Chains A and B, each alone.
Chain A
């Protein structure tokens, strides 16, 4: 029971990270290898706001959202949009460059040390009888569910959201319908980055903060996105939860050292059977 709860809680976190990634992937067919590093920037932002101004990570969420949005748009405008028409390999490698740059910038500025936010509003655990519920983790899970629902509503209800979905389905038709697809691209990249920034703020309440933290989460997010289906927000949400569960249960029943190997194994098996992912089309 405890394992299932833990799995669910990390799963919701994964979902939020993966939704940002799947949005970028679906709209412009770019794999953002710097996604994990955006997460790291979000975590560090919330860490420094806490350390310097004593701002609780939960309040730094809007700041993370805005900061990462601006960063995402800037990276799209100045770097990614330039390779969109270039060879496939350049599209794959360019975000790797950004990733290496960002994570080492963090090493340079803040040293490779591990950090932890020591005291936040929500501390300790709730005793639920059969199992314990860690307060920061529970709050973070709630937060990522709410954020995911917001994204979902945003995509379905607002004009920009619908335009993003239309671009994702068929770029040329969207362009013919008068949608500025170039603008949609930069907005989607911004939102994708902003979402992972929010995830970073939530994650910073209980996870270690260090420059290379993005690598692991980024790689897992790819597996989730591909598992859920390319560009599918619902798919990413469900797959995130599945992966969280698989990771903790797999670690519990087999060997904790192999928990990430299990995640990657699931990914490989899924794409073998369904190359476009669970909810892909």
Chain B
């Protein structure tokens, strides 16, 4: 018995060690940049998974939370010189509050209705930020240059610190998801996902647990948003709140495997490098070929492997047993 439980841990440790060494061995900027995006989207996927994969609320509007996180910390930084690390927490809290405010009236919506409500919500947020002069409307915010340091959450000479920071964030998200999934709450979530009504009859406070799922998910997404702002140093509504980001988050989670802790990370590890390299190789003329392939892939995956590729790993794992 001990042998079987030790195995996944050894694998996880090995992967972690590899990832820690990776940027020291491969020092080109592009692979590191891609890895940073993999971690970031992995984190967003894990966050989506908590509400989508476990609690069954398929959100197609995660970009709104991502954007709110990015905007809160950036706005506080330029307007009140608030440290980005504090902005990170505050951004998460703002996103969680917004999530609760929108999640409460939506707490009776199921399936398609919830999905479309989430699109409507994120579109409203995007349109509002595009016209909100307080945050520079469509012009966006440029994050002011500050001396390079961990306390300032800003580094100029190398991407390495960003790499480790987002990796740590991803780890936090994975741990949160793991705790949620294995706790009593995780079982409540799955019960709600299977049947809203049955869960309610069994005495689960559906509204409360749905709200918890949405808020945790929003908080983590907003953290990724602040990271993005500090990494790219420029945000505007079209780059952090676009519907395409929301969709990519859903696809990553689905490809990897919704409802498994590490599935979305795997999904990000497959899709992000794919879309980045096709964009670099094929997309330079703006001909849309990269997205063409992307759309084709999504269709194929939903038809032939709708449970996600994580399922393969668990199947292999069972065989070894």
Binding site for B on A (CB under 8 A): 25, 29, 31, 79, 82-83, 86-94, 96-108, 112, 211, 215, 219, 222-223, 226, 255, 257-258, 260-261, 264-265, 267-268, 271-272, 275
Contact = CB atoms under 8 A, between A and B. Distances in A.
Contacts of B292: 100-101, 104-105, 108
Closest 8 CB pairs of A and B: A101-B295, A97-B298, A100-B295, A107-B288, A90-B306, A97-B299, A104-B288, A264-B120
30 contacts: A79-B299, A82-B303, A83-B303, A87-B307, A89-B52, A89-B58, A89-B250, A89-B306, A92-B58, A97-B295, A97-B301, A99-B295, A100-B292, A100-B294, A100-B298, A103-B291, A104-B291, A104-B294, A106-B288, A108-B287, A112-B286, A219-B120, A223-B120, A258-B131, A260-B123, A264-B120, A264-B124, A268-B105, A271-B109, A271-B113
Nearest to B126: A261
Given A97-B297, A223-B120, A264-B121, 9 more contacts: A83-B306, A88-B56, A89-B306, A91-B302, A98-B295, A100-B292, A105-B288, A107-B288, A108-B289
A79 B295 CA distance: 13
Contacts of B116: 31, 222-223, 226, 267
Contact of B127 (A29, A102, A257, A275): A257
Q: Name, among B131, B300, B303, the residue most crowded by chain A CB atoms within 10 Å (CB to CB).
A: B303
Interface residues of B, number: 48
B254 A93 contact: yes
A120 B218 CA distance: 50
B127 A258 contact: yes
Contacts of A103: 288, 291
Contacts of B287: 107-108
Nearest to B258: A89
Contacts of B106: 268, 271-272
Nearest to B120: A264
Contacts of B294: 100, 104
Contacts of A258: 127-128, 131
B171 interface: no
Nearest to A107: B288
B247 A96 contact: yes
A25 to B, nearest CB: 8
Contacts of A86: 302-303, 306
Chain A interface helix/strand/loop/mixed: helix
Nearest to B253: A89
Contacts of A108: 287-289, 292
A83 B113 contact: no
Given A97-B295, A112-B286, A268 B52 contact: no
Contacts of B83: none
B298 A219 contact: no
A112 B108 CA distance: 40
Nearest to A81: B303
B131 A257 contact: yes
B303 A79 contact: yes
Contacts of A96: 247, 250-251, 298
A102 B130 CA distance: 27
Contact of A101 (B123, B299, B302): B299
Contacts of A99: 295
A79 B60 CA distance: 21
A101 B121 CA distance: 25
B13 interface: no
Nearest to B122: A264
A70 to B, nearest CB: 18
B117 interface: yes
B105 A219 contact: no
B80 interface: no
Contacts of A79: 299, 303
A264 B106 CA distance: 14
Nearest to A102: B295
Contact of B299 (A91, A98, A219, A260): A98
Contacts of B303: 79, 82-83, 86, 90, 94
B142 to A, nearest CB: 23
B296 interface: yes
B115 interface: yes
A212 to B, nearest CB: 10
A98 B299 CA distance: 6
B243 interface: yes
B112 interface: yes
A107 B295 CA distance: 13
B115 A31 contact: yes
Contacts of A211: 288
Interface string B240-268: 00010001001100100010000000000
Interface string B100-116: 00100110110111011
Contact of A275 (B113, B131, B295, B297): B113
Nearest to A267: B120
